[in-house]
Structure 1
């Protein structure tokens, strides 16, 4: 099954490069079409896949460590907190290479605040965590709105960036995301057994020799790093990390040895497909920010989870 899914994903990636305002026939390409394919669409499709994989993987880890099936970078406030740092950096004219640093610092700070507020008697309260995430989103949105009001010169770039989209793609950014995702993925893959134990309860994990606090903090930092870099490069693309871990668990179970792979793969496929759709959904060559599409898909999926699967979040 895994090999077939990889083959399907590769074929989808190739097809996505051919789809756009101008459809490209791979058997009869002009020089201009060849340049469009290799210099514009190839890096963009790869970039959307990597960003989707980063968001899908981070969502899987958030849901595991917070023991909350509705947790992802959006609902926990990590995405909005990261966006706050990026918006402030854009407003203040910070060099582009430091925007990710701002996003990571504010994202990690916001997530840790939500985590602290969610602890009740040393245990995480899922409802409190969602409420704390909502509050964090409100606060971050208020500060972002102030930035849009006060820094009028940066208004257009901030608004377009907040919608979320695969824009300003460079090979350097692509390699950065691939390297970061690869390092985090390999670490989580090596420690998949510990992650499975961590999903049970803290006392069981501690009795088996796992430093729960250290492990949880480390994977929190890794997940937030994935989110903050993704947000700083592509804006707010919500709900990818909410949808794909549920699909992965429903189809292939909760074993983290499989879940981190399928969450990454489905996240890459979802964002790549959404970005492809955003290029052609509006006639005339206009492009819809992909964050709008993922928000629609994620919102509908969120309602589905709340209505039909309240008691069966984790067992498929």
Structure 2
């Protein structure tokens, strides 16, 4: 038994070490690629001395890539958590309408004229409201029913998306760029907001990974998990609050970026198995790598014209979602 635990721990460390290395490589490569390509030697020289690329690297590329890393990682681990909590492989913030609820709160804060902190609060409330509605309407005879849950999320998300379009009519001309942002876009995120995004994402991610073994118990069924000593209601309530804070924070700077939280956890389970202790951490790393690559494509493929990264993730994610839906059926 002890040898098996040691082997599992070694496997866990090895997987995360490899994924961290891949993330660092992706980080560097994405900084080099863009409308202005940066040679590798000049990149390293610019880190420690002034050059023609220093301002591009520090003012534009590094903040942009950091946004992609933490938004992608945060959305991915959120999807993994929802799939574990709701016992539904198709659950994720975008499909369940949670991103739409957070976006509704964000746009409403724009109209009111709130600061960034106010926007964060409104995004969190919108996300939490949708979670409560999905959980309420996803029950049948007092029990959560996967198909009912999924359809409820889609419909509630559509409702809030319609509400967002109505709110857009109230925006003045200077804020109509929000339409571009609603597709899912990192170019409008201000680098100053990283001081909020990084700590919130880091704290929530560490909490979820530290408690990942509890989600393994939950996968056995609520009654079984309760018999094994797990406080199921407490875990669910804390998870909903923490993930709502995370989604609200991310959506307030990136807009609606769909399918990341759906695809990445499935890829992790295909690669590493169903143990959430590995799936959660791997989801963060692979999600960060995935969105960084997608955003690099979005800002480079038709430079100087930039495609919203949400369009790239939707083009990739929608066919995979259809495949998973048909497979589940």
Query: Under a length normalisation based on structure 2, what TM-score does the superposition of the two structures give?
Result: 0.89
Within a 5 Å distance, the mapping from 1:166-177 to structure 2 comes to 166-177=186-197
Partner of 2:34: 20
Q: What's the CA shift for 1:28?
A: 3.8
Given that 1:52 and 1:240 are in contact with CA atoms closer than 8 Å, whether structure 2 keeps it comes out as: yes
Q: What's the CA shift for 1:170?
A: 4.1
Point out the more displaced range, 101-110 or 190-199: 190-199
Distance 2:124 2:204 in 1: 15
Given that 2:96 and 2:134 are in contact with CA atoms closer than 8 Å, whether structure 1 keeps it comes out as: yes
Distance 1:154 1:209 in 2: 54
* Per-residue deviation, residues 200-220 of structure 1 (Å, max 9, x unmatched): 101001111211111111111
Q: 2:324 aligns with which of 301, 305, 313?
A: 305
Q: What's the CA shift for 1:142?
A: 1.6
Partner of 1:214: 234
* Per-residue deviation, residues 220-259 of structure 1 (Å, max 9, x unmatched): 1111211111101111111100010000011101111101
Partner of 1:72: 92
Q: 1:126 aligns with which of 118, 141, 146?
A: 146
Gaps of 5+ in 2: 1-13, 44-49
Partner of 1:264: 284
Distance 1:17 1:147 in 2: 36
Gaps of 5+ in 1: 312-316
Partner of 1:289: 308
Partner of 2:185: 165
SS at match of 1:218: helix
Q: Structure 1 87/154 Cα, relative in aligned 2: closer, same or farther at 3 Å?
A: farther
Partner of 1:250: 270
Partner of 1:136: 156
Q: What's the CA shift for 1:5?
A: 2.5
Partner of 1:314: none
Q: What's the CA shift for 1:184?
A: 1.5
Point out the more displaced range, 92-101 or 110-119: 92-101
Partner of 1:95: 115
Q: 2:211 aligns with which of 163, 172, 191?
A: 191
Within a 5 Å distance, the mapping from 1:12-51 to structure 2 comes to 12-28=26-42, 31-51=51-71
Partner of 1:108: 128
Distance 2:57 2:93 in 1: 32
Q: What's the CA shift for 1:186?
A: 2.1
* Per-residue deviation, residues 10-67 of structure 1 (Å, max 9, x unmatched): 1111010000011011324682312101221011111110110000010000111011
Point out the more displaced range, 94-103 or 239-248: 94-103
Q: Structure 1 174/151 Cα, relative in aligned 2: closer, same or farther at 3 Å?
A: closer
Q: Structure 1 213/121 Cα, relative in aligned 2: closer, same or farther at 3 Å?
A: farther
Count how many residue pairs are aligned between Structure 1 and Structure 2. Answer: 309
Distance 2:208 2:157 in 1: 28
Partner of 2:246: 226
* Deviation beyond 6 Å, 4+ runs, structure 1: none
Q: What's the CA shift for 1:171?
A: 4.4
